[in-house]
Amino acid sequence: MPNDAASPSLDNALGHHAPGAGQREFGTGFGKGGETHQQVPAKGKHGDGTAHLTDNFGHRIADNQNSLRAGARGPTLLEDFVLREKIFHFDHERIPERIVHARGTGAHGVFECMKAIPELTTASIFQKAGATCPVFVRFSTVAGGAGSVDTPRDVRGFAVKLYTESGNWDLVGNNIPVFFIQDAIKFPDLVHSVKMEADRGYPQAASAHDTFWDFIGLMPESLHMIMWAMSDRAIPRSYRMIEGFGVHSFRFVNAKGEGRFVKFHWKPVLGLESTTWDEAVKIAGADPDFHRRDLFEAIAAGDFPQWELGIQVFDEAWAAKQPYDVLDATKLVPEEEIPVQVVGRMTLNRNVDNFFAETEQVAFLPSNVVPGIDFTNDPLLQGRLFSYLDTQKSRLGTTNFHQIPVNAPKCPFHNFQRDGMMQTLVPTGRANYEPNSLAQAGEPGGPRECPATGFTSFRANDERNDGGEKLRVRAELFADHYSQARLFYRSQTASEQAHIASALVFELSKVQIEHIRKRVLSRLRNIDEDLAARVAKGLAMDLPEAAEAAREPVEMRPSAALSIQKNAKHTMKGRKVGILFAEGSDLAAIEKLKAEITEAGGTPFLVAPKVGGLAVKGGMLKADGQLAGSPSVLFDAVASILMPDQAAKLAKDGAAIQWFMDAYAHCKTIAHCRGTQVILDKAHVERDDGVVPIESFARVGTKRHWDREPKVRDLA
C-alpha cells in the first residue's frame, strides 16, 4: 500500500514502539491481602506485539482514520460510536479552559451588507444593501493555553458571531483557508500531538517538537496546511491585519430551494502584515499581550479595524471538473479561478466591558446558521457540528449557556426547553411540550413550527455522491495531498519561500528523533525539490527518497492571492512608529514628525531613556515608553531625533544599539538625524532604501524592505 494511503497501518507507525508502548497497566481495586488487580486498557495483541486499538469499552477499532458516512462524499452518520466517543472524550478533557483557542481576545462591532444577493440566499442579512446587525468577534491562538503569549508561530482563530434578525450565525474560522486534517475523527489526534507532550508537559504554544512532527510525517494530508503554518501567515503583525476564512465549503440556498457552494473570506481593510520570526520571538518577551493590546488600544482610540466579507460561489458542475474535492478541508479554491466578490463590511467599534463575561464565556457553534445558509458533507465540518455544542457543557457548566448575554440572540427566541442548571429565565405557562392545546387567557399554547419561514435543510442530491452506502472511506480526490501544498509554496515571493524553508529548519531542528525528520523531508520532496533540498541542507541531512504519493500531484497555476508580500498595502494606517529622543532633542522637529505620522493614519510613540519628562529644545517632553522597555520590535518603523552629545552617550547603551540593530535586521524603515549616525555605525546599520534621513520618512513610510534580508540573516 502506498505510504500516503489513509490506512490503519499509517506507515507502520506502531512498529516504532516497543510492545505495549503508551499503555501502562493501572490498578482498579484491591483483592484479598491488598494485592492490586490489573486491567490492561487495550486487550489483545497483534502479531508484532503491539496492542489492539479499542474504544473505552474494549471494542476493537478497525479504522481510526475515517468517520462513518453515507457514501464516499455523503454526510457523517450519528451512529458512528467510535467518532462520537473519541470527540466526546476530547471535548471534556479540560475544565474550564478551552482545549484549543484558549488564549484569545474579543470585541463588539457591526456588520453591514454592501451588496444584496437574494438570488443566492434567503439569509436575512443579505437581502438588502445597507442592512446591519451587531457582531462579536474573538481572535485567538490555537495551541497554547490561556497563559501563553500572543506571538507564537501558530494558526489564529477568527470567530464571528452575527446577531441577525433570523437568529445567530456563527462563522467560526481561522486566518488560514485550509486545515491539517480531512476528517473530524483525527482532530483529537492532531491536537494531542501539537499540545504539550504528555509525559513532560512542554513545550507550551509551540509546534517544534517530536510528537507534532511525528503526526505530520504520518499524515501527508497535513502538508498543505504545514506550508501555511510555516509561512509568515502564522506570525502576523496584528489581529487587525489578518484574513479570516470559513475554511469549509458551505451552501447558499435561495427562495427557490436552489443551492450553490460558498466559501467565506474576511479581507482586512488595513491589508496583510506579518512579523519576522526573530521579531515574533522578541515581541513575546517584550510584550506577551502584543496582539490583544494592539486591538484594544486601536478600538479605544477610535481607529476601528474593518474587514470586508467576500464570497466565492460555485455549483456542483464546476466543482466536479476540479482536480481536487471541494468538500476536502485541506484544499482551497484559488481566487484566480473563482474571484472573491465583496458583499459586506465588518467594523469592530467597542471593546468588551468584562473579559470573563464576554470574551471567555462566548460560545461559538458552527451549527448556528440561519435560513439560506446550510452545511455540506465535508467530513471535518460534520464532526464540528457535534463537537462544538457538546464541549460547551464542560466549559460553561450548563445546557443554558445560550442565556449568557454574549451568546444570546438579539432577536426573540421561543421554545419548550425548561429547567437545567443555572436557568435564568422564568418560563410561564403550564405546557412544556409540543403539540399542546393548553391555551391560557386567550393566548395560544406556546410557539409553533413554521414551515414557510423556518430552517429547512438543502435537499438536492450531490451528483458526485455514490449512493447511500455506509462506508469508512474517503473520496478519491481526497488522496491528493501535495498539489495545493505545491501551489501555495510556488505562489510565494523568494523571501517568503526562504521564510518557509527557514521555519521548517527551525521546527525540525527541535525534533530529536531522526526518523521523524527523514519522513518529513521525504514528504517535502513531493511538494518542491528545492524546498526539500534547502531544508535538508539546513539540517545537515541527506535527502531521503521521496515518499510514494497515493495520488500523483497535478500542476496548478500559481495564485498571487496566497502571498502576503504580493498583496501588501504600503500605508501608514494602523501602523505604529517609535520615535527615539533624549535631552536636548528638537521639540519642533519631533512635533512635525508626529503630525506627519498622524495625518497619514499612523500612531507615533515617543521613546526616551527616561519617561518622567526631559528638557528638550523648546520645552519639556514626556515619553510614552522607556527605551529598555520599548524595544523596536513593538513598532512598524523607527525614527530618531537626537543631539550629537546624547547620541554619543546612547552609543554606549546596549538597549539603544539593539533598538536600531533589530529594526535593521527586521527590514524596517529607519529614519534618523545626522547625530544618530554614531549609534547606527555601532549597530552595523548600512544605508539603503529603508535607512533614510528624517526628512524622507513620510515618503518611505512603514513598508518592509525585504531586499535587505540577505545582508542581515542566513536563511535556508
Half-sphere exposure (Cβ direction) of 400: Cα atoms closer than 13 Å: 13
Q: Is residue 197 within 8 Å of 156, Cβ to Cβ?
A: no
DSSP β-bridge partners for residue 26: 39
Catalytic residue among 66, 174, 175, 368: 174
The one-character DSSP state at 330 is T
Catalytic residue among 101, 224, 291, 666: 101
User: Is beta strand 669-672 parallel, antiparallel or unpaired with respect to 691-693?
Assistant: parallel
**Element housing 383 (H / E):** helix 379-396
HEC profile for 378-446? CHHHHHHHHHHHHHHHHHHCCHHHHHCCCCCCCCCCCCCCCCCCCCCCCCCCCCCCCCCCCCECCECCC
Q: Is 174 a catalytic residue?
A: yes
Contacts (Cβ under 8 Å, ≥6 apart) of 256 = none
DSSP β-bridge partners for residue 443: 440
Q: Is residue 348 within 8 Å of 302, Cβ to Cβ?
A: no
Q: How far apart are CA 111 and CA 131, in angstroms?
A: 8
Q: Is 101 a catalytic residue?
A: yes
Q: Is residue 446 within 8 Å of 436, Cβ to Cβ?
A: yes
Give the amino acid at 623.
A
Q: Could you give phi then psi for residue 261, rounded to 5 degrees?
A: -70, 150
Q: How far apart are CA 171 and CA 547, in angstroms?
A: 37
Give the amino acid at 3.
N
Alpha-carbon torsion (143, 196, 184, 395), positive or negative? negative
User: Is beta strand 576-581 parallel, antiparallel or unpaired with respect to 244-245?
Assistant: unpaired
Q: Is residue 639 within 8 Å of 577, Cβ to Cβ?
A: yes
**Element housing 310 (H / E):** strand 306-314
Q: How far apart are CA 30 and CA 433, in angstroms?
A: 49
Q: Is residue 392 within 8 Å of 364, Cβ to Cβ?
A: no
Q: How far apart are CA 132 and CA 344, in angstroms?
A: 9
Q: How far apart are CA 703 and CA 570, in angstroms?
A: 6
Q: In Å, how far are 12, 53, 82, 91 from 63, measured between CA atoms? A: 14, 9, 9, 21
Q: How far apart are CA 344 and CA 113, in angstroms?
A: 4
* 509: its cell numbers: 531542528
Instruction: Give all strands (DSSP E) within 3-153, no chain letters.
Output: 26-30, 36-39, 69-70, 104-113, 132-141
Contacts (Cβ under 8 Å, ≥6 apart) of 64 = 8, 53, 82, 185
* 660: its cell numbers: 536600531
* 482: its cell numbers: 501535495
Half-sphere exposure (Cβ direction) of 264: Cα atoms closer than 13 Å: 25
Q: Is residue 271 within 8 Å of 240, Cβ to Cβ?
A: no
Q: Is residue 582 within 8 Å of 512, Cβ to Cβ?
A: no
Evaluate the omega torsion of the peptide bond into residue 412 and state whether it is cis, within 30 degrees of 0.
no
- The residues that are catalytic are 101, 174
